[in-house]
Chain A
Amino acid sequence: MIQLTIDDQLVTAAEGRTLLEACRENGIAVPTLCHHPALRPYGGCRLCVVEVAQPPRPARLAAACAYPCEPGLVVRTNSEAVQRSRRLTAELLLAGAYRSPEMWALARSLGVTQVRFQLPEAESCVLCGLCVRACQEIVGVSAISLIRRGMAKQVSPPFEIASAACIGCGTCVLICPTGVLHLEDVIGYRSAHPGGVGSEREYCQVCSDLDLSPHFVETPEALLAEARRLSPAPADPAGVSQD
């Protein structure tokens, strides 16, 4: 067991725990966006930053989701510096997602009241990578990935070619945190990405090979049922789900 100090409180954590896990085990709230307990740490959204110091070295900001508990570490989860950083990061997230009520709710909870910088296209994908990582780490098919870099980064099948690896499980949709991405986005023309909601029957623009009806399905079970009804080979989700 490792002993460390979080917010002036002596805390014990098991070997290999992250700071975020230690905080949550001790009832200390830390906001997150790109984190999911079932996925490996990513450290991309920077909302979970906390001040860490290994005395006598000065404190610095680090992402709690990816920082391992170390003996003697002194952590501040809600200092002025932490709050300032989270507020600005949330505001920057809103720059590309200012139409998303979920993102606004998250930002407001951190004290954000204005968005001083807006990107021309508010696509609402905040590039948290949850869909991509879930597809890789949970579903195990890697049908989508993050391509390009910087502002051009986007979620796409590898080489932007229709991915036969997609099994249509809908995990990417269910894990999406911005709330703008619904099942219809994956099934319909819009998919996980920009564009308009499509017509009656469209190919998924993420995986491109799943021919499902665009009407809204709320749960994974419903999705699978829908997929079984509509989609024969090549990508038969029913077959996969029975493996």
Chain B
Amino acid sequence: MTKLADPAALEAWRAALAAEDGHDRPTLTVCGGTGCRVYGSERVCAALQAESARRGADLTVKVTGCHGFCERGPLVVSHPQRRMFTRVKPEDARELVSAAVDGGPVADRLLYTDPQTGARIPIETDVPFYKHQRRLVLDLNGALDPLRLDDYVAAGGYAALAKALATMTPEDVIATVKASGLRGRGGAGFPTGVKWETCRRQPGDVKYVICNADEGDPGAYMDRSIMEGNPHRVLEGMLIGAYAIGARQGFVYIRNEYPLAVKHLRAAIAQAEARGLLGENILGTGFSFRVSVRLGSGAFVCGEETALMASIEGRVGEPRPRPPYPVEAGLWGKPTNINNVKSWAAVPLIIANGAEWYAALGTPTSKGTLIFSVVGKINNTGLVEVPLGISLRRLIFDIGGGIPNGKQFKAAQIGGPSGGCIPAEHLDTPIDYESLAALGAIVGSGGLVVADEDTCMVDFARYFMQFTQEESCGKCVPCRVGTKAMLATLERICAGQGEPGDVDYLFELGETIKRSSLCGLGQTAPNPVLSTLRHFRAEYDAHILHKTCPARVCKGLITYRILPEKCTGCMVCLRNCAVGAIHGAKQQVHSIDPAVCTRCGLCQSLCKFDAVVVN
């Protein structure tokens, strides 16, 4: 494989790929994201390939990155028609290959059915989950084989790099990124172009760029999916950034729990190096840049930039006070520019299409698109990209398909354990940095957890507090001991031992921890508690003052009881109770001993007569 001598060689390669035999052959793309793989998409792909070979079909079967609609996986899409097949099994291979090759019919169960209207929607782009999105960064995720550089180049890959290197000065690149309004997608929302400019202006020859891929929020997998599905776009963004800043060395800090993303990223680096898109004298322009992968061991705090740098340096992953900021004195004391995966991945699009194109999306202060992983009590679990400024209602109901089992929406935790919850009365709030901050939440990195009427908001806050408490590095006192004090208070409240002063104590702890902690972990850790206190104070009062859990979740505050008028004495609950808390005999009304019962809820889920109730 020869290195590309100049930008013209890249374009010649692209033209050759477009003229290649079979480039427009019918294709089946199989989602190869971690979620669909868990559902068996690798076996689906093997079956499709075998069937295609058996028929001698003129068909390409390709494993791609995450398509996004994880709820319906494994997903297969036929191109160019974009017919979408959901929950595909290996035994569906014959139907799918026939559909792709001759446009043959497929069973209804493989098609998406709109739960509201009951209508079958065969074409991917008509499915509401996709129709209301604006997929820019994720646009190629379902189309590319992430292990083939050819695919990325054929789709326009590295054209933005060539454009930047051949026709723009570093200052031009920075001016374009500034004009695009791109803000850091790791959560803090600092203007990306301003950060680059500050780093560029620092004295010294040695500068570094880092891609922060230490995604760790519970339920968040945006960064993982981008790196799994389109690793070259992240590298292209880093290359453009390094050119603008004046860096020759970059690092991707990625957690070891993301093996597929690590594999794809490493493959992409090797391919780009082989083609002269990374390394010395890139595209013959004299610009040189290398990227190294550094694996994190899963400490949440290492997503904090100073802790991340300490970890790369081989020291304990603990934050240090800022200033100096990384752009002034970062990795090994050198000016260092850190951006999140999503920020880097947006850069090639901005350079290729122009700042105005990107800035046309969003609100006056929040431009472009945001990527969310939408999880929890929601119909369409998945990966979603929407323009900033979209309302939470549209995100959850139009795209997310609403709440399962006809339950009521209660709140959405946005920004993960560092963010806050947004209750139903604020569903029409536009999702942008300022509006969410005003509600005590943050845009965050993109985790969105939906809670329904069966979710206890005190328990919900306790869960996130437990997460941050366990992930606190322990260096500073407010975060180490303060989060422990908050968690202990919440645990007492959930156990029915809350006291009248607890809410004031939680407020006092929360406000102080936010203001006085050393790093972003502690400074945001109280947010889930403070925001649930703000929007769901009545639930706290019910736990503390009335010793009841309105959502019937907190085990210390509920009892299971059998309704004598409904119990048929069928013995099912009695036989299945793991602790022997249920007494009775055949065809006699059963009863539960509350002293023995562990409130696991198994009896209720097994009872066919709705005889088990929670008080």
Contacts and interface: CB of A to CB of B under 8 A. Distances in A.
Interface of A: 41-46, 49, 60-63, 66-68, 81, 84-85, 88-89, 92-93, 95-96, 116-117, 119, 126-127, 129, 145-146, 148-153
A49 B518 CA distance: 10
* Interface SS majority for chain B: helix
Interface in B182-196: none
B324 to A, nearest CB: 8
5 contacts: A46-B476, A93-B481, A117-B484, A145-B316, A150-B471
A149 B316 CA distance: 10
Contact of A96 (B323, B481, B512, B518): B481
A89 B512 contact: yes
Contacts of A148: 474
Given A93-B481, A95-B484, 10 more contacts: A43-B320, A46-B516, A61-B516, A66-B321, A89-B512, A93-B477, A126-B477, A150-B470, A150-B472, A151-B474
Interface string B470-507: 11111111101110110011000000000000000100
A63 B264 CA distance: 42
A214 B473 CA distance: 34
B301 interface: yes
Nearest to B471: A150
A89 B477 contact: yes
Contacts of B517: 46
A179 B299 CA distance: 33
A62 B480 CA distance: 17
Interface of B: 299, 301, 316, 320-321, 323-324, 469-478, 480-482, 484-485, 488-489, 505, 508-509, 512, 515-518
A129 B473 CA distance: 13
B321 A41 contact: yes
A108 B301 CA distance: 33
B461 to A, nearest CB: 17
A153 B472 CA distance: 10
Nearest to B473: A149
Given A60-B515, A85-B516, A149 B474 contact: yes
B474 A153 contact: yes
B473 A68 contact: no
Chain B CB count within 10 A is highest, among A41, A127, A152, for A127
Contacts, number: 98
B485 A95 contact: yes
Contacts of B472: 149-151
Contacts of A149: 299, 301, 471-474
A131 B299 CA distance: 25
A150 B480 contact: yes
A6 to B, nearest CB: 17
Given A43-B518, A150-B471, A150-B474, A127 B480 contact: yes
B604 to A, nearest CB: 35
Contacts of A126: 477
A141 to B, nearest CB: 17
B480 A84 contact: no
Contacts of A67: 321, 323
Given A63-B518, A85-B516, A89-B512, A44 B475 contact: yes
Contact of A49 (B474, B485, B516): B516
A152 B470 CA distance: 9
Contact of B512 (A84, A119, A145, A150): A84
A158 to B, nearest CB: 11
A60 B518 CA distance: 12
A126 B474 CA distance: 10
Given A44-B518, A63-B518, A149-B474, A117 B321 contact: no
A66 B480 CA distance: 19
Contact of B476 (A41, A45, A88, A145): A45
A61 B515 contact: yes
A151 B323 contact: no
Nearest to B509: A88
A53 to B, nearest CB: 13
Nearest to B475: A44
Contacts of A88: 478, 482, 508-509, 512, 516
Nearest to A117: B485
Chain A CB count within 10 A is highest, among B320, B324, B515, for B515
A177 to B, nearest CB: 13
A44 B485 CA distance: 18
Nearest to A152: B474
Contacts of A49: 516
Nearest to B319: A43
B408 to A, nearest CB: 36
Nearest to B505: A116
Contacts of A151: 469, 472, 474, 480, 484
A146 B316 CA distance: 9
A187 B475 CA distance: 26
A46 B478 CA distance: 8
A62 B323 CA distance: 10
A46 B519 CA distance: 11
B518 A46 contact: yes
Contacts of A44: 475-477, 518
A92 B320 CA distance: 21
A92 B489 CA distance: 14
Chain B CB count within 10 A is highest, among A43, A49, A96, A145, for A43
B516 A119 contact: no
Contacts of A41: 321
A89 B485 CA distance: 12
A237 B301 CA distance: 38
Nearest to B472: A150
Contacts of B473: 149-150, 153
Nearest to B522: A46
A85 B515 contact: yes
A92 B471 CA distance: 18
Q: Which 9 residue pairs are nearest across A and B when measured between Cβ atoms? A: A66-B321, A153-B474, A43-B321, A92-B481, A117-B485, A150-B474, A150-B472, A85-B516, A88-B512
